[in-house]
Amino acid sequence: MDGPLKVGIVGGAGWLGGAIAEAMLEAGIVRAGDLSLSYRSRQPDRFTGSFWTADNQALADRSDVVLLCVRPADWQEMTVRAEGKLVISVMAGIRLDALCSRHGTVRAVRALPNAAAEVRSSYTPWIATAAVDESDRAIVCAIFDACGLQDEVASETEIDYLTGLTGSGPAFPALLAEAMMNDAVAHGLTHDVARRAVNTLIVGAGRLLEGRDDCPTDIVDTFLAYRGTTAAAIEEMRAAGLDAAVARGLAAAFTKSVRMGAPS
């Protein structure tokens, strides 16, 4: 590619679009003046050195790479043409063939980062069309490495499954934390003490997993082997249906992902 990379983010005013933009700028993948972002109703007061527009086609026309960071429901009405561009979608459910047909390109990528991109800790699976070459792949890897970790996967079915597993980002750990905090408050702890205790527990667990890179099963088995209070809690949670509830939740997310990609 001749000259500096020019990137456009449709939906750059949103949480995820803004997080990806910030990560790219921080990593030096794109210069501020070569970054374009679109908004729907009000231009945010950030990325002041970049090009802001309410016209998605104008954004695409000035970009080599177009990231689609909008809700699937909003994408259904989008008519942006991106011939000759690399189009990267971070929308749940929208399939590669639909992206190529709608935007007039053969170079398309489906990716699923999550909200932890804001703190550069997202996990992003992605898959590309056959026309995406090694140069394009290097761009995709650079963008999502800047947001955390990334993996190219083998099929769109894997992307649909991972939409629920990792695309939900901090939602599932937060759900567990909420249940634990509510129980702590019910047992007499103040809200502030319960919040600090639970948040520190969740953050510490994440850092332990990150630092040791252990399989979660190994950590669970280690605590079970101690036969102490933690083992008693784990066994009771499992007896109450924790594993089955998680499996049902992920199955529901997978089904929803597939449905979101179906033609309306």
Whether 196 shows a pLDDT value over 80: the answer reads yes
**What tens digit of pLDDT does each residue of 33-77 get?**
999 999 998 999 999 999 999 999 999 999 999 999 999 999 988
Whether 2 shows a pLDDT value over 90: the answer reads no
Query: For 241, left (φ over 0), alpha (ψ -120 to 50), or beta?
Result: left
Domains defined for the chain, CATH in brackets: 7-153 (3.40.50.720), 171-260 (1.10.3730.10)
Beta bridge partners of 7: 35, 65
Whether 132 shows a pLDDT value over 80: the answer reads yes
Tokens 């390109």 -> residue = 105
Return the percentage of the chain with pLDDT > 70, whole number: 98
For 168, other C-beta atoms within 10 Å of its C-beta total 20
For 73, other C-beta atoms within 10 Å of its C-beta total 10
Supply the mean pLDDT for the chain: 94
Residue 109 parent element (H or E):
strand 108-111
Question: Quick one: pLDDT band at residue 231, thresholds 50, 70, 90?
Answer: very high
Beta bridge partners of 148: 122
**What tens digit of pLDDT does each residue of 178-187 get?**
999 999 999 9
Tell me what the mean pLDDT of segment 243-247 comes to: 95
Sign of the torsion angle spanned by Cα atoms 72, 73, 76, 78: negative
